[in-house]
Structure 1
Amino acid sequence: MNLEFAAEGWEVEFGLLGAVEVRDRGEVVEIGHVRQRSVLVALLVEEGRPVPVDRLLDRVWGERAPLRARETLYGYVSKLRKVLGVDIERSPAGYRLAVDSPRVDLFRFRALVREGDFDAALALWRGQALDGLESPWFDALRESLHAEREAAELDRNDVALADGRHAAVLPALRRAADERPHDERVAAQLVLALHLSGNDAEALRHYDSVRRRLADELGVDPSRPLQEVHQRILAGDVEPRPSGPRQLPAPHPWFTGRSDELAALGSSGTVVITAIGGTGGIGKTALALHWAHRHVEEFPDGQLYVNLRGFDPSAEPTPPETVLREFLEALGEKTIPAGLDALAARYRSVVAGRRMLVLLDNARSTEQVVPLLPGSTATVLVTSRLKLAGLVAAHGARSVSLDVLQPADAREFLAARLGVERVTAEPGVVADLVSWCGGLPLALSIVAARAAMEPDFPLAVFAEELREQPLDALDAGEIGTNLRAVFSWSVAALPDEAARAFGLLGTVGTADVSLAAVAALLDRSVARTRMVLRELENAHLVQQHVPGRYRMHDLVGLYAADLPASPGSRLADFYAATSRAAALTLEPHKALPEHESGHVLSFADQAAAMAWFDAEHACLMTEQRLALERADFEVVSMLGHTMNSYHLRRGRTSDDVDAWLMALRATEALGDEFRQATAHMCLGADYVELGQSSLGHKHFARSLELFARTGDHVAHGSVHRLIAWAAEFEGDLEKALEHSLLGLEKFRAAGAEIREAESLNDVGWRYACLNRYAEARTYCEDARLLNAKLGHTEGSAATLDSLAHIAHHDGRHADAVAHYREALALYRELDNSAEQATVLEHLGDVHAAAGEDDLAREQWGRALELYRVQGRVAEAAALERRV
């Protein structure tokens, strides 16, 4: 999904093909210094794909990243959001900036090159690409972009020469020949242009000069294309002479997108064997044919094509012997030998020295392809639903895997197929069609074909059908145009264990899943699970989009979900038991019931536990909802309890409400009043924080009522602690102190030292809020000693925050700074980013009071960035207004 510009009326364009610039209606927009521009470009070039923070740091600074580089990066992103008026999204996958492709000159350049409008494409260049940006990554990117420009120039020259416009390109060819004296394609173009201009003497002199230079400096003869131009001039023949078989099928008429993949395929001079992989319907054959027809002039000795029928439900894969006989016949051989080895040897001999293209479509295996590989100069394209790792490993093939089309390319495809007028008339509906097709070219083709056959139907008819029954809507009633059938061919080719795993993955219900979770789902070891998933990856039915995490295309997932599978409770038990282990790592004294799983994970420290929650949060929330639907109430309750500490540390209050509401329904179904009371207590705190105090206090009251029946002093004390916090949040400091003291009394009566230490700090803090600093300091120092005795890191951090506040208001500036910095270090150790933000804001206040304005602004800026990342809009707005 492309993000719209937030600034009203902006028509912003981005220039990368020269000095980096941003323009609004032609006027230059100031976007900051070189590093800030570097961040913008590093995000823009991904065309809406997320960039992990570590990768972004490497792109911008390389090995010269400054101290606190992450915080500096956060600041740059924040400033870019303000300057550009765009939403640069932050997610666990990284930062993401998506803008419409026509707004970026680089993407316009590539689109124009794809369309063959080379003059318009080259006119977009203003100088050296990304001029002024410096890092190893930018240097490599700049070199790659200039290679794209040179390729476009060469293609432009070929077209111009074929059209008789030799005079127009002659000056540029002279300059290119001077700049790249060893480029034989440039040399051949210049020799031909000179001849067509009537200057044979200079053409032959230039050829001879290049020939001698190549011999003297590189010890090689001119390439065959350059020699052929020379010979044709000597013979007075400059017209192309067709020779050899021309077997390529027609290109797909509505091919769109795939600029990166086309660039990866390169040209015949650099790619000998290319394996194009992707799931069924992803557009492998369309890409191969599009590339082949664009480069057909590079293969004057012919083009061979065969459909190897690797995944055809109506026929067995075509044997290599059959293909070799057909190829030899097409190459004019009269006597065809018998036996695979003899056929392959004759084939290699016949093709040797020829500039040919061999397109092997729909291969089933590396073994099927290897006998069909020429031995020398021919270029080979291989398409397959499998990755053909053996072809890559043993034969040096380049692997080009296809993903789905970007939304802009998908819309362009529909416009090409249905007409711009029909598509622009229903933009919202087209967006729905693109979304439900998930960028899968076959799905888009089926929808477009159905819509083309019913030109009077509004597109909303097809969008509604897709929304209700996606796989049924993508059945055009013929072989090859039924998405279920296409997917089934891939699954049918799988080993039994992998096919069973595919069906079980259809029951997961989340966007992605971890390796450990799949191991639990399959009830296999991690090592065995990795091998099974590799089978599915090889068939392009799952994708390992980041190390250790797997996902399916939405439509593949729907197909998998339709397959019969019985996962049992293994995945739910894994999430519940591992979430319990992670929660106990964060809070070792938390009271949680046991939960059994044969695949439970353990965590070395709190940072590891928080990292697991970060990665699995969406899966945990989904699993809790699914468990509630199937009445697995113990799992629902466990997940509500175990995610609470994580939600608090990450400032995810709304998520905490959702989790506790589900847990409350589960505990009510179980009739467990103690766990009901816990849910009411936590919901009370969440609702107060979200500004719904009345609802929050209703939950507090119900919690006290239920805990009163249990006689549990610790539980009672916990409710009083949260009521005290809520009272302070609402500005009633006397009530906050009252409930803090009641909580402390309950914890002491229960002998719960951890909770007593936390309550001592609570009481001290409330005295401080009432400006009674002597009493405040006494309670907080007692809390500090007890936390140290117990090794309670989180309690120590909170107490240091309180002592820093007291020191600040006692006028002890150095003590306040020291306490805040110590608290900050502990919260970093705990990976508690929510409290880090709060402490940073308070530390800025201390520096400001001491007249240290630069230090104050630095801390406030870091706090503000964290508030924004955490979605704490109110805190961010309040801090912005205040500073």
Structure 2
Amino acid sequence: MSTNSTGLTPPRQLPADAAVFVGRERELGQLSRLLDVAQEHKSARMAVVSALAGTGGIGKTCVALHWAHQNAEIFPDGQLYVNLRGYGPTESPRDPGDVLGDFLRALGIGPAMLPDSAESRAAMFRTLVSDRRMLIVLDNARTAAQVRPLLPGAGNCFVLITSRDSLTSLVVRDDAYRIDLDAFDMADSIDLIKRTLAQSAHDGDEEILMNLADLCGRLPLALRIATERISSDRSYSLEDLVESLSMERDRLDILATPDNDSTTAMKSVFDWSYKALPIEIARIFRICSLHPGPHFNVGAAAALSGVSVREVERSLEALISASLLERNGYAKTYHFHDLVRIFAQHCLMKDETAADLGESRRRECLWYVNATDAANRKLSPHRTPIDLRGLPSAVPVEGISTFEDALRWFEFERLNLMGVLKCAELSEMFDVVWKMATAAWSYYDLRKYLPDWIDSHELGLNCARRIGDVRGECRVRDNLGIAYREAGRLEDAAECLERALEQWRSTGFTYGEAATLDNLGCVYLEVGDLDRAQGYLESAILLNRRIDDRWGEARVMNNIGRVFLKRSNGEEAELRFAESASVYRQLNDIVGEARVVSNWGRALTLVQDHERAAAKFSYSLGLQRRVGDRHGEAETLRCFAELSMQQGDIPYAMEQLKQSMIIFRELGDPQEETIRRRLDELIGMYSSSVQ
């Protein structure tokens, strides 16, 4: 895979182009001329913004993506894409700060370097893209205010925005160029019908095709759905289709306002297509619209519908063939066009009972808590698992067998998780809420999605309290305290964990008490209260040994060693690191062993035992490179460089620092800047010494 001038793989986020694309030469030409103007005025380094406006189903996204794919090679630094969900039927529009977080991660910014505020994220985004040639597609925007923080400012980026709103203030204030899309003319409508029907046995004269185009309002989405349906059914003629749509249109016209012709056309096509579906597929169509997030996978669909994964997959493929459902980027994942979803939910309210809807929600929530737990066990196999007895899922969780599978599942589901949690709360499934939130902890801790982490756990804490589950409340508090610490809210972290410690002791659950003591020790280590930190950690180690939790013992012993390093007591630190490394080695936890051995090398550096320190760093690097622990590798290289400086080997130290800096940059870790300054100091010192 190619890399750009930054040395990182450019993001390639564009969804697939349309299989059949017709017309729109005028609009595509306008976009290309805008790009030409931007290239001609390269010295001005101005970003070009084009707002593609038009009613739902008019083809805004299709035009934007078709042009984007045609011109992707012009943007060597990559393409960013987001569906802003401005007009989704149930989900809230995407928050600009959240979108900026996704964009920054795609550009190589790791969680530790990600700013908290939307304003700071916007500033970092503008800085990062100022020297890059990128295409940014902001799809389905609701307002100019939602879009404005996502604009790159000065630079060589080209921005495409689609919206049903005219976004007038964006045109006036931000020099956007608006392109308004109309319905197809008759020629393009007939062309789309013919090209869609090209592989079928259906033929029709021009009058029939013109009638069909008019019945669909010459809207691309309506035309596509109608023709896809008939192309798959040889027994159904174009004449039959036109007759059916005429009758349905007449019925809906009675209820439509005079200025609502396009909506009436869409409803006509949707209703006709829906009634043509087999009974079970029609049920799955409407039931899937109950899903509380922007996209779903086949397992969630099976849970919602109460049928097997294999059966629901066949039905979903049939809906895709009918253009009533669209594929997502991941395998076996799907989403609705927002207008189709609105129609599906209309059918849901009309054709399902309240009891059926409640049962579907319950099944999906149960599937999600089991899937989240399965993914958590792969990301963090040594942590005490969540007890899901009494919360079985009728649909098995499939496809989560490795660490990579789990991470991929969480990345896809991140925007769904809070919706499912809130759905479970509304359904009074309070045990599902706190268990699912805490099961997602390992993912939130790894990726540092702090707003999601904190919001999910604060909701989980409330639900655990409502059912009086003290152990559940403690587990949530333990995770929430870590999130507060990561967010720099050290007082909140200490208060949360102190309360958890008090409750753990009241329940007599020693595993939980030991984990909370360890977390409290880390909080006070960051605060700088080393006596208090060591006291908590020493108490934790005693409990770990009492219950024979070897992994917990190794983790705490490493943290005790870190306290002694802070005290500049290398001898005591070395003893703790040696003991921790021994346990990790026995447990075959290579990541844990490598990081502790690196700390061990730091302790040996502190006591001037250079030869042994170098051996520890070399051993640690070997393990970290073997398992792909990039962050640990960067830390070890930095420590190795400090040792090389003590030994007087400045060129080798500079090379190690450079390698460390590159890795931290790739991870988006703020230590990159600290190492850069240190490297500049060394370069200056070395240059002076050789003159």
For the criterion TM > 0.5, the same-fold answer is yes
Report whether the alignment pairs 1:521 with 2:297.
no
Choose from 332, 336, 339 the match for 1:548.
332
Q: Is contact 2:229–2:273 with CA below 8 Å preserved after alignment? A: no
Matching of residue 640 in structure 1 with residue 437 in structure 2: yes
CA distance in structure 1 between the aligned counterparts of 2:555 and 2:137, rounded to whole angstroms: 33
Query: In 1, distance between residues paired with 2:634 and 2:489?
Result: 27
Q: Counterpart of 2:525 in 1: which secondary structure?
A: helix
Q: Secondary structure at the match of 1:507?
A: coil
**Counterpart among 864, 868, 874 of residue 665 in structure 2:** 864
Whether the aligned pair in 2 keeps the contact of 1:16 and 1:105 (CA below 8 Å) is: no
The alignment partner of 2:568 has SS state of: coil
**Structure 2 contact 521–533 (Cα < 8 Å) conserved:** yes
Change (3 A) 1:320 1:821: closer
Q: CA deviation at 1:74?
A: 4.8
Describe how 1:428-447 pairs up with structure 2 within 5 A: none
Q: 2:341 aligns with which of 557, 561, 571?
A: 557
Give the share of equivalent positions with the same residue, in percent.
Answer: 18
Among residues 347, 351, 371, which one is paired with 1:578 in the alignment? Answer: 371
Q: Determine which structure has greater relative contact order: mean sequence separation of CA pairs < 8 Å that are 6+ residues apart, divided by chain length.
A: 2
8 Å CA contact retained: 1:543, 1:550: yes
Report the CA distance between 1:862 and its aligned residue. Answer: 2.5
Q: Report what 1:265 is aligned to.
A: none
The separation in 1 between residues aligned to 2:409 and 2:225, in whole angstroms, is 33
Q: Flag structure 2 segments of 5+ consecutive residues without an equivalent.
A: 1-31, 48-70, 85-104, 110-123, 139-146, 161-177, 216-221, 235-254, 645-649, 680-691
Give the Cα separation in 2 of the matches to 1:105 and 1:288.
Answer: 36
Give the drift of 1:877.
6.6
Matched, 1:505 2:284: no
Q: Is the aligned partner of 1:821 residue 2:621?
A: yes
| Structure 1 residue aligned with 2:67 | none
Q: Following the alignment from structure 1 to structure 2, what is the Cα–Cα distance between the partners of residues 44 and 82?
A: 10
The letter for the 2-side match of 1:549 is: T
**SS at 2:571 equivalent:** helix
Distance 1:78 1:561, change over 3 A: closer
Whether the 8 Å contact between 1:613 and 1:646 is mirrored in structure 2 is: yes
Tell me how far apart the structure 1 counterparts of residues 526 and 188 of structure 2 sit (CA, whole Å): 64
CA shift for structure 1 position 21: 8.0
2:380 matched residue in structure 1: 587
1:41 counterpart residue number? 75
1:81 — aligned with what?
A: 128
Alignment CA distance shift 1:488-1:391 (3 Å): closer
Superposed counterparts of 1:58-97, under 5 Å: 74=108, 81=128, 83-84=130-131
Deviation, structure 1 residue 485: 5.0
Q: Which residue of 2 aligns with 1:23?
A: 42
Name the amino acid aligned to 2:568: N
Q: Give distance in 2, aligned partners of 1:82 and 1:100.
A: 7
Q: Give the superposition deviation at 1:866.
A: 1.7
Mapped pair 1:837 → 2:625: no
Rounded to whole Å, the distance in 2 between the matches of 1:726 and 1:88 is: 42
Supply the distance in 1 between the matched residues of 2:474 and 2:638 (Cα, whole angstroms): 39
In 2, distance between residues paired with 1:72 and 1:513? Answer: 22
2:526 corresponding residue in structure 1: 729
Aligned residue number for residue 219 of structure 2: none
Q: Is the Cα contact below 8 Å between 1:578 and 1:601 reproduced in 2?
A: yes
Where does 1:736-775 land on structure 2 (aligned, <5 Å)?
Answer: 736-775=533-572
Counterpart of 2:440 in 1: which secondary structure? helix
d(CA) in 2 for partners of 1:255 and 1:40? 21
Secondary structure of 1:604's match? coil
**What is the one-letter code of the residue matched to 2:366?**
D
1:385 paired residue number? 225
Letter of the 2:380 counterpart = E
Q: What is the Cα deviation at residue 799 of structure 1?
A: 2.1
Offset of residue 105 of structure 1: 11
Alignment of 1:252-291 (within 5 A): 256=180, 286=184, 289-290=187-188
Could you tell me how far apart the structure 2 residues matched to 1:788 and 1:487 are? 61
TM-score, structure 1 length as denominator?
0.50
Q: State yes or no: 1:626 paired with 2:466.
A: no
Given that 2:510 and 2:547 are in contact with CA atoms closer than 8 Å, whether structure 1 keeps it comes out as: yes
**SS of the residue 2:628 aligns to:** helix
Residues 729 and 326 (structure 1), Cα distance of their counterparts in 2 relative to 1, 3 Å cut: closer
Counterpart Cα distance in 2 of 1:793 and 1:769 = 25
Whether 2:486 is the aligned partner of 1:686: answer no
Question: Do 1:847 and 1:856's aligned partners in 2 also have CA atoms closer than 8 Å?
Answer: yes
Give the Cα separation in 2 of the matches to 1:490 and 1:840: 57
1:569 aligned counterpart, secondary structure: helix
1:792 pairs with one of 570, 589, 611? 589
- The partner residue of 1:496 within 272, 279, 292 is 279
Matches within 5 A, 1:265-664: 286=184, 289-290=187-188, 361=212, 383-386=223-226, 388=228, 476=259, 481=264, 484-546=267-329, 547-562=331-346, 563-564=348-349, 565=352, 566=357, 567-589=360-382, 590-594=384-388, 595-601=391-397, 603-664=400-461
Q: 1:827 to 1:288 in 2, by over 3 A?
A: farther
Distance in 1 (CA, whole Å) between partners of 2:227 and 2:106 is 40
Whether the 8 Å CA contact 1:787–1:793 is kept in 2: the answer is yes
Amino acid at match of 1:511: P
Summarize the Cα distance change of 1:482–1:857 in structure 2 as closer, same or farther, 3 Å threshold: same
1:297-330 C-alpha deviation (Å, 9 max, x unpaired): xxxxxxx99xx9xxxxxxxxxx979x55979xxx
Residues 16 and 104 in structure 1, CA contact (< 8 A), matched pair in contact too: no
Residue type of the partner of 1:570?
A: R
Q: 2: distance between equivalents of 1:841 and 1:577?
A: 36
Q: Which amino acid aligns with 2:375?
A: A
Whether the aligned pair in 1 keeps the contact of 2:591 and 2:623 (CA below 8 Å) is: no
Instruction: Give the letter aligned to residue 699 of structure 1.
Output: C
User: Could you tell me which residue of structure 2 aligns to residue 128 of structure 1?
Assistant: none
2-structure distance, mates of 1:786, 1:639: 31
Query: Residue type matched to 2:566 in 1?
Result: C
Q: Distance in 2 between matches of 1:821 and 1:731?
A: 29
Residues 1:592 and 1:617: Cα distance change in structure 2 (over 3 Å): same
Structure 2 counterpart of 1:558, one-letter code: I
SS in 2 for 1:771: coil
Structure 1 residue 550: Cα displacement: 0.5
Equivalent AA in structure 2 for residue 41 of structure 1: F
Once the 2 structures are TM-superposed, how far is the Cα of residue 643 of structure 1 from its aligned partner? 0.6
Distance 1:492 1:392 in 2: 15
Q: Note if contact 2:534-2:560 (Cα within 8 Å) is conserved in structure 1.
A: yes
Deviations 1:627-675 (A, max 9, x none): 1122111210111111111111222233221121111111101101112
Aligned pair in 2 of structure 1 residues 484, 775: CA closer, same or farther (>3 Å)?
Answer: same
Q: Are 2:75 and 2:134, in contact at CA under 8 Å, matched by a contact in 1?
A: no
Question: Which stretch of structure 1 is more off in the superposition, 516-525 or 813-822?
Answer: 813-822
CA distance in 2, matches of 1:828, 1:474: 62
- Give the counterpart letter for 2:345 in structure 1: A
Amino acid at match of 1:588: P
Secondary structure in 2 matching 1:511: coil
Change beyond 3 A, Cα 1:822–1:634: farther
**C-alpha distance 561-815 of structure 1, shift in aligned 2 (>3 A):** farther
Closer, same or farther: CA 634–808 of 1 in aligned 2, 3 Å: same
45 and 759 in structure 1: CA distance in 2 versus 1, 3 angstrom threshold: closer
Q: Which amino acid aligns with 1:753?
A: R
> 1:763 & 1:26 partners in 2: Cα distance?
53
C-alpha displacement of 1:292? 7.6
**Gap change, CA 1:81 and 1:758, over 3 Å in 2:** same
User: What is the number of equivalent residue pairs in this alignment?
Assistant: 512
Distance 1:585 1:639 in 2: 15
